[in-house]
Each structure stands twice: as structure tokens, then as C-alpha cells.
Structure 1
């Protein structure tokens, strides 16, 4: 880690001030992306409130909304050139609550509480895995050598995607009204699998690694329009299909990253 990274890293106590930027506060242009991050946090935590009331559809949709907001705050920060370490830390804290703790509690109340001990362990495993993944991300912010990132890939399943995948049984339960999808013996192992995928070291697709060729970009726009319509007409089947499609693409990401690694080895050896 560089000296700058060491200065900007987490402190031993919150009252310790960094060596630079003392008392400057946030710039005006940094307010908007951070406000969106806080809105995402509020949406995720509101999902817990809906779950306590037994309103499962609203609970899931609130966390899905948090994921959508999380997807745009960083892009707006880059657009406004308002990227700050404060924003990065706030984003990770918000993600841990919205996509780790909130889904764990919602799924526990929805299904896992029928097996109080094993169900709670499954919920804890998911929440802890999300926190560990985000801690790993923060620890690597200042690391120069990141093979996955330099190739345009992510390491493991990102937290918002992990939350979306964890809710797949809920999507299917709402769409089919089949109580089988609510069985804690299915939901618990499913959450454990997603938890492992989040903290794994496998390469997964990022937006930058998915760049359609110019020859098919009109088709991509057409498909995006159909997907948006499907979300309006059949949201639960569509969300389940998106999640299953994401899982199906994971082996392809491993193959593509393997090719990138091979190309790098060939370039290093002059092959």
C-alpha cells in the first residue's frame, strides 16, 4: 500500500483526523452522489420495515430499488468528478447494510425462522460474507496490482448482485405461489451458496467487461427495451430469469478471464 493509501485508510478511532484535508468538508458537487448513496441505504433498511409487517413484495422491491440507486451513485460521482474517500467508505457501509444485513433479516423473517438455529446461521453467513467482501474491496482500493480489475472483471459476486440472487426463491414464490420455494431447507443452502460466491476469488463480469460489438448495439437497445417492459408486466418472473441468467454467465466469465491470463503470459514470455 502506498503512503497515501496508508494515510487515507481506516483509523484506529473515529476522532483521529487525516493528515490532509483537515476541516475542508465535502465539496458541493460531492453532495449529490453521497445523497443517492444515503437514499439507497434508507431504501434497503426500509425493506426490513416492510418485512416486519409481512409485506414481502414491498420488502424485496425496496432492496431492489437500493440496488438500482447503488448502481448510479458511483457513475454520477465520476461524471461530476466528485469521487472522494468519504464517498467510497459511505458506499461500502451502505452496501453492507442494504445488501448484507437487510436481505439476511428479510429472508430470515420470510422463511428461515422456521428453523431458528440453522436458519439464523444461514442469515448470519450471508451478512458476514457481504461484510467481508466489502472489507476486501476497501483493503484493495490502494493496491496497484489487481489482476481481475485490470482486466475489467470483478472478484466474486458484488454485494448488490448477491442480494438480488439471494432473493431468487422469493421471486419464484411470488410468481408461482408455490410454498416449496419458501422451504427453509432450500432457502438456507441457497443463501450459503451465494455467500460463498460473494467472498470467492473467481472472476465475474463487470460492466466494463461487457462491451457489445458495434454491429449488434441496436439489437442491445432493442433487448433493453423488451427487458424493461418485461419488468413492468411480469416483474417476478423477469427478476428470477435475470438472476438465473447471471449465474449461467459465470462460467463464461471464467473462460474469458482465462483467455486474458493466457494472453498476458504469452506477452510476458514473448510468445
Structure 2
């Protein structure tokens, strides 16, 4: 016989233990895109493998938002999303880069790919354990989707221009290791979660939207890679800027000490 005295909180907790189909479909599609990227890289199709990772990024951005909009968030969904992100943004980009450029470098190549994969795993684990403990306006370390976009964007833009990966393996190794290290760093990156998409904006801002689409469709590989390359450098650049400002302030105080 059912217990009719259960509180709404208990009923809500039991309900949230289930699996919601809509956000899980997007998360599974994300997993498929990551798996597809690995298969295409193994087949040498480097024009499709990076594209699959970027599609996975879009799906990853959608599943959480859909869960919040439809009130279908659950512990299962959060854990499933994290595991899928490890495949799509941790394992898949490393294997794509390895197959394209690093496989000819011997141990150095697969160690660079592993550094990236380990960095992604540590980044995701740290994010999961520190949810709600930091300022939501910033990420601590380069987000794994952005790191994945940096790595596969490098593959995509050079492959589209006919540059063999083996001819640029040193640069590929640097990009891969840099992305892995930035993920586990303490450098802050803007999350843009404080941007109010429902707020009013100027007419010129609306005109900028079609301009972005025009630039994107002119040369998607180059535009996407440059976008995430600039984003990856924005964190260290902000630290350098603050350090220079502090040095200038210290020098000014030395030359013009404040009166007591």
C-alpha cells in the first residue's frame, strides 16, 4: 500500500532520480558526435572529425539549457553529461590530433596527447567538485569544450589548407600540450553566464549578429580556430595586463610617494 504521508520534498527527490528523455537525447547525440570524430580520425577523414567535435559543443550547450528550461535536471543527467564530455572533449580531440600529426613523433606524440586527455579529465573532475563555490562569471582553467575547439580547430584549418599534419607536428604538439596545461591551470576565463540574453540591446548590436554569421560562413575553420585561440590567450593576457598595471602603479608610487 502506498504511503500517502510522503512530503512533496521526498516525492520531488524520487522524481529527480529518474532519467529524463529530452536532455538525455541531446547528451547521447553529443556522445555520438565524439565517437564519430574518433572513427573519422582513424579513417583519415580530418575534414569531418573536427566538425563532429564542434557539433558536440553545440549539443553540450543545449542539453543543460533544455534541462533547466523544462525542469528536467537530475543527478543522472549531470553525471552522464560529465562522462560524455570526457569522451567528446577529452579523448576525441587528443586522438584526432594524434592521428593527424603526433603519431609520427613516437613516444613524444602520444605523451602529448595523453597530457591533453589527463588535463581534460582533471578539469572536469575539478569543475564537478566545485560547482557553486566560485564566481559564476568566470571559469577556473580553460573549459574543456574550448580546449577541444582549439585543438581540433588547428587540425581543421590546416587540413583545409592542404597542410599535412606530419609537416607541422612540432606546432601541433605545442598546441596540444598548451591546451592540456591551460585546462588544469588556475587562470580565470570569462564564462559569459552573466550575459542577459533577454535584456534590451542597441540596434547596432542586432546588426552585428548577421555580420558574425557572414564572417563565420566565409571560412568556418579559420574563424572558429581564431575565435577559440584568442579566447585561450585571453586568460594569460589578462594576468599579464594586471601585472603590468601593478608595476606601473608601483613605479609611480616610487617616483611620487604619498605624503604622510
User: Does the pair score TM above 0.5?
Assistant: yes
Candidates 169, 186, 191, aligned match of 1:184 = 169
Q: String of CA shifts for 1:176-219, please: whole Å, max 9, x gaps.
A: 3234785221111211111111111111111224569x785433
The answer for the alignment partner of 1:134 in structure 2 is: 124
Question: How far apart in 1 are the matches of 2:123 and 2:56?
Answer: 18
The answer for the alignment partner of 1:78 in structure 2 is: 68
Alignment coverage as a number of residue pairs: 232
Question: How far apart in 1 are the matches of 2:103 and 2:165?
Answer: 15
Q: Structure 1's 86 and 24: CA in aligned 2 closer, same or farther, altered over 3 A? A: closer
Candidates 140, 148, 151, aligned match of 2:135 = 148
Contact 2:101 2:165 in 1 (8 A): no
1:53 aligns with 2:43: yes
The answer for the alignment partner of 1:8 in structure 2 is: none
| TM-score between the two structures when normalised by the length of structure 2 | 0.79
Q: Structure 1's 131 and 256: CA in aligned 2 closer, same or farther, altered over 3 A? A: same
Contact 1:44 1:66 in 2 (8 A): yes
| TM-score between the two structures when normalised by the length of structure 1 | 0.76
RMSD, aligned CA:
2.9
Contact 2:90 2:121 in 1 (8 A): yes
The answer for the alignment partner of 1:9 in structure 2 is: none
Q: Structure 1's 85 and 25: CA in aligned 2 closer, same or farther, altered over 3 A? A: closer
**Unmatched segments (≥5 aa) in structure 2:** 1-11, 244-260
Question: How far apart in 1 are the matches of 2:156 and 2:164?
Answer: 12
1:116 aligns with 2:101: no
Q: Structure 1's 217 and 240: CA in aligned 2 closer, same or farther, altered over 3 A? A: farther
1:26 aligns with 2:47: no
Deviation of 1:137 after TM superposition, in Å, equals 1.3
Deviation of 1:85 after TM superposition, in Å, equals 1.1
Contact 1:173 1:182 in 2 (8 A): no
When structure 1 is superposed on structure 2, of 216-225 and 94-103 the one drifting more is 216-225
Question: How far apart in 1 are the matches of 2:43 and 2:183?
Answer: 29
Question: How far apart in 2 are the matches of 1:78 and 1:101?
Answer: 27
